[in-house]
Amino acid sequence: MRYLGIDIGSSFIKGAVLDADAPCLSHIERADAPPRVSGLDPIFREIEPESVMQGARQVLERLHRHAPDAAGVLMCSQLHGMVLCDDQGRAQTRFITWQDQRALMPLPDTGTCCFDEIESRITREERQQLGNERVPGVPLNYLFWFARTRALPAMRVTPTALPYYVAAQLCGTSLVSDITHAYGHGALNIHTREWHHAVIEKLGLGDVRWPHIVPQGAVIGEWRHEGSSLPVFAPVGDYHCSQVGALLEPGELSVNISTGSAVIQIAEGAETGDFQTRPWFDGRYLKTITHIPAGRALNALVRLLTELATAQGIRLNDPWDYIHAESARADGGGLRVDPAFYPSNMGSRGAVLHLREENMTIGHLFHAMFAGMAQNYATCADRIAPRRDWSRVVFSGGVALKNALLRQLVCERLGQQHRLAPSDEDTLFGLLVLSLAFTGRTASVRDAIALVRDEHQSQSP
């Protein structure tokens, strides 16, 4: 049995044929994600949603040519972000991405920002009930900004996660959400697993229409293409999907490193603390700290170091082979780097300290950068699991799997027992695992993970 899997990311729209019998991925397709709209305030991050939908459709059509016998479509996408839609599913705003920082802008009437005003209006208990998602790039914050700046559309609108907008356009179905994307809106009570209407009313958002939350794995529509009618399963958050793809088990500590990064551990119930609590699968939860500087911060450093060449029209080859080789030979040279070069859960004031003429090299600088990242993961791990009761570390995400030095520095702080995720396409591999549970081949996602883990181990040399 084969399915089509698609991940609508912030950099790429990726897809693969999911072979549930093997189980393996094949025919991986990739297209650049549409660029953000230019000419806006520098802290705005908006994308034309129609462009995303067309890009996703094209990737799906290419995949379908590879697997005309496909039995369904599974999707995941960036967790936060929204497009406001009318009751016909038509976009009334652009897609506002998770990188948007408008919630930090001063409001014209008070001078305070939306993020701070929301914090002042809700209680600590309510913040924990919302999962303790203390970041500006959440739809609840965007909606409050729209309301306070009188920019909400005149009609009643539904905040819609990107893959549900895409699914509604592809299938002609109504706007819904699963629990992972409902959580991503920032307005879900993690204990009741329903919208937190008390907080919504407190923030003056009672007139907003919130999408119906459907069961995980529900079929929400059918995509018709070239004589086939493929059921579309309720999309899931890419963060949640990546941990399914990493085959995460209870007792392990996950360090996921890609554009952003996170430290994660499974919890059977909705534990709360100095971390985020996100609904996962099978009624379980993930304790996590997300928005830890990673690939985005590394790319910012590379842009700085290549700016002169770029300004002179000199096109450099991919610098990462050189960076990895030189940083592995260096020791940091006494440098200390705090990679918080943009607002994150580790602050917003990055630094490069103790520069001297002899340590101003690519090797020393990036070794120190990787060490700073590793220290962040250790700090976050102690917040999530202060008893340090993990059996081993699980690395996932493209940056982690490609960077042996970074893994070594993390293991020096978190313990040497570790394993790698089975695929560098962790979200697509996660969709493969989910296909087993969503189609009833296993009784739960936990069982699907165990089945694929056993298959993977039996095929390992």
Q: Does residue 329 fall inside a structural domain?
A: yes
Q: Are residues 199 and 320 in the same domain?
A: no
Residues near 410 by Cβ (< 8 Å), separated by ≥ 6? 255, 374, 377, 378, 393, 395
pLDDT score at 325:
96
288 and 219 in a common domain: no
Same domain for 160 and 34?
A: yes
Residues with Cβ within 8 Å of 73's Cβ and at least 6 positions away in sequence, in order, are: 3, 4, 5, 6, 60, 223, 230, 231, 232, 233
How many whole angstroms separate alpha carbon 51 and alpha carbon 324?
36
CATH (domain of 364): 3.30.420.40
Per-residue pLDDT of the chain (461 residues), as tens digits, is: 999 999 999 889 999 999 999 999 999 999 999 999 999 999 999 999 999 999 999 999 999 999 999 999 999 999 899 999 998 899 999 999 998 999 999 988 888 999 999 999 999 999 999 999 988 899 999 999 999 999 998 889 999 999 999 999 999 999 999 999 999 999 999 999 999 999 999 999 999 999 999 999 999 999 999 999 999 999 999 999 999 999 999 999 999 999 889 999 999 999 999 999 999 999 999 999 998 999 999 999 999 999 999 999 999 999 999 999 999 999 999 999 999 998 788 988 899 999 999 999 999 999 999 999 999 999 999 999 999 999 999 999 999 999 999 999 999 999 999 999 999 999 999 999 999 999 999 999 999 999 999 987 766 55
From CA 54, how far away is CA 59, in angstroms rounded? 9
Q: Does residue 229 sit in the same domain as residue 328?
A: no
Whether residue 208 contacts residue 157, with contact meaning beta carbons closer than 8 Å, is answered with yes
- Is residue 211 within 8 A of residue 167, CB to CB? The reply is no
What does the CA dihedral 379, 385, 386, 392 come to, rounded to 10 degrees? -80
Question: Do residue 261 and residue 350 come from a single domain?
Answer: yes
Domain boundary among 206, 238, 270: 238
Are 223 and 81 in a shared domain?
yes
| In a domain? residue 427 | no
Of 379, 256, 404, nearest to 329 by C-alpha is 404
**Residue 235, SS3 per DSSP:** coil
d(CA 168, CA 364): 50
Beta bridge partners of 393: 253, 418
pTM for this one? 0.93
Residue with tokens 């001078």, as numbered in its chain: 111
Judge whether 243 lies within some domain.
Answer: no
Residues 201 and 328 in one domain: no
Residue 90 CA to residue 100 CA, distance in Å, equals 22
Residue 193 zone, left/alpha/beta (φ > 0; ψ -120 to 50; rest):
left
Continuous H helices in 263-361: 295-305, 307-311, 320-329
Indicate whether 270 and 411 sit together in one domain: yes
CA torsion, points 85, 91, 92, 93, in degrees to nearest 10? Answer: 110
Do 59 and 207 lie in one domain? The reply is yes
Give the whole-angstrom CA distance, residue 437 versus residue 215.
13
Residue 64 placed within a domain: yes
Indicate if 170 and 53 belong to the same structural domain.
yes
Choose the final residue of a domain: 207, 238, 269: 238
Give the integer Cα–Cα distance in Å for 98 and 17: 28
Q: How far apart are CA 139 and CA 133, in angstroms?
A: 11
Residue 458 lies in a domain: no
Burial status of residue 3 (CB atoms within 10 A of its CB: 0-12, 13-18, 19 or more): buried
- Tell whether 445 is covered by a domain: no
What is the C-alpha separation between 88 and 302, in angstroms, rounded? 44
Under 8 Å between Cβ of 426 and 237 = no
Q: Identify whether 429 is part of a domain.
A: no
Question: Same domain, yes or no, for 218 and 122?
Answer: yes
Mark whether 204 and 280 lie in a shared domain: no
Structure tokens of 282?
């099978």
DSSP β-ladder status, 194-195 and 212-213: unpaired
Domain of 191, in residue numbers: 2-238
Question: How many helical (H) and strand (E) elements, i.e. helices and strands, does the chain have?
Answer: 16, 23
Cβ proximity of 327 and 320 under 8 Å: no
Q: How far apart are CA 392 and CA 420, in angstroms?
A: 11
| Count of domains forming the chain | 2
Provide the strand spans (E) within 118-247: 158-160, 176-177, 188-189, 194-195, 212-213, 219-225, 228-233, 236-237
Listed residue (409, 302, 307, 408) closest to 362, CA to CA? 302
Within a domain: residue 245?
no
d(CA 108, CA 91): 27
Domain-ending residue, one of 191, 206, 238: 238
Classify burial at 306, counting beta carbons within 10 Å of its beta carbon; exposed 0-12, middle 13-18, buried 19 or more: middle
